[in-house]
Chains A and B, each alone.
Chain A
Amino acid sequence: MSKTVRKNNNRAAANKTAAHEGGLRQAMTWAHTWIGVLLGGVLMVAFFMGSVAVFDREIDRWMMPATRIEAAPPGIDIDTVVPRAVEALAAGKPLREWAVTLPEARTPVMIARVRYAAAGGQIRLADPRTGALLPEVGTLGASSFFYPLHYNLHLRVWNIGYWLVGLAAMAMLAAIVSGVIVHVRIFRDFFTFRPRKQLQRSLLDLHNLTGVLALPFHAVISFSGICIVYMILIPAGINALYQQPNAFYDQALSGYSRQAAGVAAPMAPLGPMVEAARARWGGAAPAAIRVWNPGDANAVVKVSRSVGDRVSLADDAAYFDGATGALLHHAPLQPAATTQRFLTGMHFIAFDHWPLRWLYFLGGLAGCVLIGTGQLYWLDKRHARHGERGVRLAAAVTAAMTTGLVIATLAMMVANRLLPMTLPSREFIEAGLFFLVWLATAIHARVAMRAGSRTLVPWRQQCLAIAVLAVAAPVCNGLTTGDWLPLALARGQFAVAGVDIALLLTGALALTTARRVRRVAVARAATRAATAPNLEEADHAERA
């Protein structure tokens, strides 16, 4: 009785606020749904690979065993090790430019890059203790494969990848706004999770829980992510006020550049320049040294500041005359540039802060759950309304974007440990395997689709594949490098050990999920056999 009264009151209230209120929410729901359906896949790749990239340096150590070296003692002799690495890489050819990234807390190696005066260039890792080049790593690793996948999908033609990910990030912002409007009871739902209720109810609960819990993180990470690549996505302002984009960068980021003189001059020592820069930074550590036109009278040396001790990614660079060592330029950033560099730094999490690093990781994974549950919810509704034919392809794609993405990542890590180092173009074979396995997961999901089942996708098999690969990876690591988890822990190789532990946890989670999926399926079949007509009816009502 009282229920009926309340329902009537609600209806009256709804009528009073006019169709506009109801209409707006309905339209927002529609927009939210289709934004998610159309861009959820790209968002999932961005969120998952972004979460992986939070630990890119650690995964790099895991995938590049030659770089598992002891940290260099503090105060390496820059004038010895840096030129040694650069000269080894230059191999006698004249250079237009070189750069060396110095080791820091999470990276025990130096990264040396050269650009030849003629054409082309090279990049190699070097040992900061000696300046000697390390052997070819034979992999793109996390920093050159998983991480770029996060922001450009490795689609570099016409910057298509940047545009797709940028669009997805803006779609995420629009989805957050529309999601909040759709969901006005947000704070009550935040405390609601009913894992054993009907599938759609649980999916929606989990969608709301992750959406609300990590809302500030998701909003900030999406916005700051787009702000990094403003010059690609919206060069409107630059076009209106500058003829040369480089003139803009120099002004905006307080850079400095000048033409080569064409007159040879020996280089001044780097050490005093680095010390002068440090003094200007109040003692902060240097992160990288870059030299334009080395050996020219107009050579320019750029010394940039480490960002390990603060959020902003401003490199606060000091520019020196390469021939005399005199300071040429060092100016602080202006407010807008400071803001942009702060946003960039918040996104990159290049600073040293382990608790925050893990929170970023978990926030990113919460984003994956948010996107995944949204897609599964849509699939289930569509399944109910249009039948199996209407969702088979979408279900296969969803599988590839969720479990498939994890399988491909793990398969690449296993391949990384099993492919022989002598293989030519080894890094591209590894990357190719990633994409092949990824495609295979979509095909498997479609081919092994369980007709007549509620969720269609062979989730259990894909979860088992994750479990097998996630356990195989640490074993392969132990077999090929000898750095078995307990040994790595004992030797203080926490990056390698941490990746191993994360892999094993992934495997355990996947195994639990696979067993749970099976148990639910069995229980469901049993209940259905017992009370077939009733359940079918209830099921139908729930899904409609």
Chain B
Amino acid sequence: MNDSPSSLPSRGAIGPALAMTVRALAALAGSYAFTWGITAGGAVLGWRLGLPRSEAVLWFSMLAFLLFPLMSLWALVTRRLWRVWLVLLAGAAIGAGVAQWLGERLA
């Protein structure tokens, strides 16, 4: 098993320490933002499509715990970090947008 960070292929122009920080951030914060967006947006969409509120919340909350580890792992192993961030931020933004525009909070 090779445990040196330099074994990770192709990290572009930035230095290894910075690249590692950006990658760790993607695996934690980026993946969490993505998961948050998909969970919120998915729950709202599910509800709009006819699921009871609480059911929509529960399905997407459970899905979140498959999404986060997979996105996080993907962020750790994919070569092109910019693509990882693009997907993570796009997912977070789209999900949050759907939740914002289509959501309606029950009092």
Contacts and interface: CB of A to CB of B under 8 A. Distances in A.
A292 interface: no
Interface in A4-49: 19, 23-24, 26-35, 37
A171 B69 contact: yes
Interface stretch (A232-240, A350-358, A504-512): A232-240
A26 B5 CA distance: 11
Contacts of B64: 230, 233-234, 236
B8 interface: yes
B69 A23 contact: no
A30 B2 contact: yes
A178 B54 contact: no
Contact of B52 (A334, A339, A382): A334
B102 to A, nearest CB: 9
Interface string B1-18: 111010111000000000
B2 A26 contact: yes
Interface string A335-371: 1110110010000000000000000000000000000
B44 to A, nearest CB: 5
Nearest to B59: A336
A240 B99 contact: yes
Contacts of B79: 23, 27
A226 interface: yes
A144 interface: no
A241 interface: yes
B2 A237 contact: no
B40 A237 contact: yes
B72 A174 contact: yes
Interface residues of B, number: 46
B9 A31 contact: no
Nearest to B9: A23
B53 A242 contact: yes
A174 B68 CA distance: 9
A19 B9 contact: yes
B32 to A, nearest CB: 8
B50 to A, nearest CB: 13
A134 interface: no
A81 interface: no
B54 A234 contact: no
A174 B52 contact: no
B106 interface: yes
Contacts of B39: 234, 236-237
A-B pairs, 7 with minimum CB distance: A237-B43, A237-B57, A252-B54, A336-B58, A27-B77, A236-B39, A236-B40
Interface of B: 1-3, 5, 7-9, 35-37, 39-44, 47, 52-62, 64-66, 68-70, 72-73, 76-79, 99, 103-107
